[in-house]
A and B are shown apart, each in its own frame.
Chain A
Amino acid sequence: MRGYALGESHLTSFDRQFEALCRVQRPDRYRLLDALPTDVPRIPRGGGVSYVAASFGAGGVSQELGAFDRLLAFDEAAGRLTVEAGARIGDVQRFLLARGWYLAVAPGHPRASIGGCIAADVHGKNPARDGTFRSQVEAMELHAPLRGTVVASRQRNPELFEASCGGLGLTGSIARVRLKLARPPSGLVMRRVPVTSLAEAAAVLRESANARVLYGWHDGRARAFGRGVVWVGLSSDRAEGAVEDMPPRDADLPATVRALPFEVWNRAGIAAANGWLGWRWRRAGQSPESLAAALFPLNRARVYFAGFGKAGMAEAQWLVPHRRFDAFAEALADEVARSRPRITLIASKLFAGRAAGLSFDGNGVALAIQLAAPREAPQQRFLEALAGLALAHEGRPNLIKDSSLDGEVARRGIAGFDTARGQLAAHNPGGLHGSELSRRLGL
C-alpha cells in the first residue's frame, strides 16, 4: 500500500561508527504518520545528523519527518513560535532572526530538526546561561500508534513531557512544538582568553558564566595538552550579526559529509592544525563575529569532518562536577601522556543546570574530546580509559554524542539511569520505538 511506502536506505551515523541498511518511511501527510501497522518497530528521524545512530537501527522502520517542517503560528509580540518538529533549526533561525527573535539554545549543525533537538535535549553556545533545549520548549504534540496524539507540557502530561526531553525519540514522534523565543544581540564580540591548561580554562569559564557564547578550544596532544583559548562572546551594539549574514539554506553543512579518500588527521595533520590554530587564536584580543557564524560553527567545519576519512571519528563528551574537575583534567593529561591518542580537538563548556533523565546537563565543566580512527585498538583503549577516569571523577556522559558507550557505562555515569529507563518504557509500550542507540544502551 502506498500509504506507508517503504524504501531501503543505507543510513550512517554522523561519526560513521554505525551503518545499516534500513527500511525508511517518508510520510508527507498527517494521516501517513499512523499508516504503519501498529506492531512495526519504528523510530522517528529528523535531520539524521546525530553523531550516534539515534534515528535508525536494524530491524525497525525510520520515519523521516522532513516533510513536517512548517511554521504554524508566530506571536511576534510575545515571542512564541509553533512549528512542526521536522523543521530544521537553521531554517527556523533564519525566519526568526529576520523578525528580531531567535532560539538561544541551538546545536551547531543547522540541519538538526526541532524534534531531534528535543529528543536529544541538545545544548547551545552557553548552557550555563541558557540551559538545554528543553528550557525553550513550552509544549509538544506527540504521535504514538498505541496512544494516539497527545499534547505534553509542564502542566499537561508533565511526565511524558519530561521523558520526551532527552528521550531519544522513544516516547513517540514529536509532531508539533511551541517554543519560547529570545531576543538576539545586535552583534557579538568574541573575546579570546589564552589558557595553558584545562584547569585554567575551567576557571575562565566560571568567571564568564553569563556570556552569550562561551566555550574553549584545546590542543589534545600530549606535548601541549590543554593549551588553547576560551572564547567569550559578549553582546555588542554593533550590528555584526546582521540578518543578511545568515548563509542561505544551500550553504548549510550537509547531513552526511563526504569523507576524503585519505585520512588527514594523522599525527602530522593534527600537529599542523593545532599549530596553525594556536598561532591564529592563542593570543589575547577580541574581534567582531556574526551571530550566524556563532550559531552554526559546523558550517565552517566541512573539511575538518571530511578529513577523518572513511574511518570516521568518535566524540566522547563528559560533564564533570566542579569540585572534581581539576583532578580529572590532571588525570586525563597523564593518560594522554601515557597513551598518546590521536585527539583532533578538545572543547570545553560550562554547565549550571540540573541533571534530569538521560539529558546531558548538570553543574560542572564538560569536555568534548574528538578522536580520529576510533576503531583502532589504541584509540579504543584510550576511550575506555577516558570513561574510567570520568566515572571515577563523577562524570556524566553525553549519550547522543558517544558511539563508544555501552549500557553499563551509561548506568554508572548517569544517576537515575534505571529510573529514566523505566519512565521511557512506560511511555513506549511494547518497546515499539527503538534505535541502534537504544539497543546499545539497553533502553
Chain B
Amino acid sequence: MTAEDAGPAAKRARTDDAAEVADAPMPDAAPDAASEGEDFAKYTVTELMKLYYSRLFPHQDFAKWLAYGNDSKHAQADSQYFQRREFCFTLEGDIFVRYQSFKDGDELQAALVRRLPAKIDIGPVYNVDPQRRAAVAGGERAFAPVERELVFDIDMTDYDSVRTCGKEGHICHLCWPLMAVAIKILDEGLREDFGFNHLLWVFSGRRGIHCWVCDDRARQLTDEQRSSIATYFAVYKGEEKGLAKLALSYIHHPAVQRALEALNETWIETILPNQELLENEGNWEAVLAYIPDEDVRDTLRSRWQAGRVLKMADDSINVARWHDLVAEVDKAAHKEKDLKRKGALSRCKDEVVFAYTYPRLDMEVSKKMNHLLKAPFCIHPKTGKVCVPIHPERAFDFDPDTVPTVAQLLTELDSNNGKSSMDDAVEVFHEAFLDKLQLASRETLAAKARSAAAKPTLAW
C-alpha cells in the first residue's frame, strides 16, 4: 500500500503540494553577503542555510550521482531519469513538501536556495515525473515507484542498552567504533555476498549512519528482495526480557562467522575497554546475564568483587576480566555432560559479543522501495553538522566530534580564499564512491547500446 493509493479526488494532505507553501522568508538577521572575518557561529543553522546551499552544497556532484550517467549525450541515456526522482523538503515547522522533482543539479540548487529546507530526503524514481503524478492515465493508481537505491539506517539510540558513555542523541569517539564495525560488516557482506560495488556511506549528522547501495541491480530490487537482504543481516532481532534476541545457530553461517571475526577484534580492542563493560558491578551484571550457568556467574562475580583478576601489562581491567570469563565458561563447558547445556555454554561468549556489537539495523527503512531517506550533504538542524560521506576503509578513523558544522565551513570559506573542509568531504565522495560509479554507469549505457544494436529492428 503506497501513498498513491489515495483517490485522485481526495484533497492531499497539507504537506503535499509545493505550490501551497510560500517561499521561506529570509530571517532579518541572516547574513547575505558575508563580510570579512564575520563570526558565523552567532547565527542559527537556519539562518546559515542560504549561504550553505548557494556556496557549499555540492549540487553538481550530487546530481551526477543521482543521474547515473543519464545526464550524458549518450544515445541510450534517459534524459528524463533525474526528473522522475522524488525529493522531499522539510521546511521550518516540520512541514513536509513531498514529490518535488528537478530537471538537473542547477534547478535543484535554485529550489534549495529559494526554499531553504532544513532537511532534504531522497525518494524513489517513479514511472512519471512525480510533479505530474495526477496527470497520469489511470489516475494516481498508475503512479508507481520503479527504482530506488537499497538503503540501510543505523541509529546510535538503538545501542542505548549496551553503551555506557551516553544515551539518546549522544555520540562520541568512545561509542563510534560500534558504528565503524557496523560499516565494516555490512560493507563486506554487501560486496562479497551480494556482489554490490557501489556503496555510499554517510554520517547522518547526529547519531547514526546511512548506507546507499547504488548498483543497477540494487536499485531494481523488489520490496520482497530488499526485505530478504535486510533479514539476512539481521542477526540482532531486538530485545526481550532484558537480553538481546539473536538469530544465531549452533554452527555459524559463513557470513555470520566472518562478522564474528571482525566483531571479536573490535570487541577486545575498543568496545570492551571504551565502554568499560566489565569495570564495575552494574556493567558486568548485564554481561553475566548471558551466561546460562549460575555457578559460573557466581565464581566470576566473587572473584571480580574481590579484585582477584590477573591483569596483563597492557590489557585494561575490562579485557583481563573478559579473558577470565572466557576461561571460566570454557572450563564449565568442558566439564558439562549434558549436550544441550554444553552447547549453550560454549555459545554464550559469542552471544555477548553479538549482543554488544553486532549492527542494529532499522529494518523498516531497508524493506520498502518508497521509503524516504535523508540525503548526504544535508545539515543536521540541531547540531549544524554536515552529513558527510565516510570512506568505509577508514571508518574507524572517522571522528563524529570533528565533523565540520555549517558555521565552521562558512568561516573557513571566507578566510581561506574559497577553500573549506567541504572540499575534503567532496573528495571522499569522489574517491570512495562517485568516480567508480560513473565508470560503471557509462558501461551500463554502452551495454544497453550493444543489446539495442543486436535487436532486430523494424526500421528497414
User: Are these two chains actual partners, yes or no?
Assistant: no
Residues of A within 8 A of B (CB): none
